[in-house]
Amino acid sequence: MEQGERIKQIRTSLGLTLEKFGDRLGVTKVAISNIEKGNRNLTEQMTKAICREFNVDYMWLTTGEGEMFVATDDDFQARIDQIMFGQDESRKNLFKMMIDMSDEDIHALERILKNISSFYENQNKED
């Protein structure tokens, strides 16, 4: 996938028109359209502006590797709030339990989860 296609993917995943996307970057919809179509290349300045404005991962935008968006602490906090104020008691209880765990317990849990993950990765390779 070319950079122009990745720009279009960002814009459409955010539900923005060419005009609204361009407005947030200080350029016209024609400029964005030309980038998406491959008629114009992205400048380094524009690349950085897109990453900053839309929380896009720089490596993904420039090479296509990794995830499109960078997770922010605000996103993480919002997701925790949804869980804590939601109806899923099991998820709430997991957070409550982890608050009271010692550092040693957290490290042990991390090792267990890594072992489980490795086990299933190996199972999938064998299948």
**pLDDT one-digit tens code per residue, 76-103:** 777 787 788 888 899 889 888 989 999 9
Do the beta carbons of residue 11 and residue 21 sit within 8 Å? yes
pTM of the model as a whole: 0.58
pLDDT score, position 95: 84
pLDDT score, position 33: 97
Instruction: Collect the ranges in the chain with pLDDT lower than 70.
Output: none
pLDDT score, position 77: 76
pLDDT score, position 53: 92
43-50: long-range contacts (C-beta < 8 A, 24 or more apart)? 49/25, 50/7, 50/10, 50/25
Distances (CA, A) of 14 to 17, 56, 58, 92: 9, 11, 17, 30
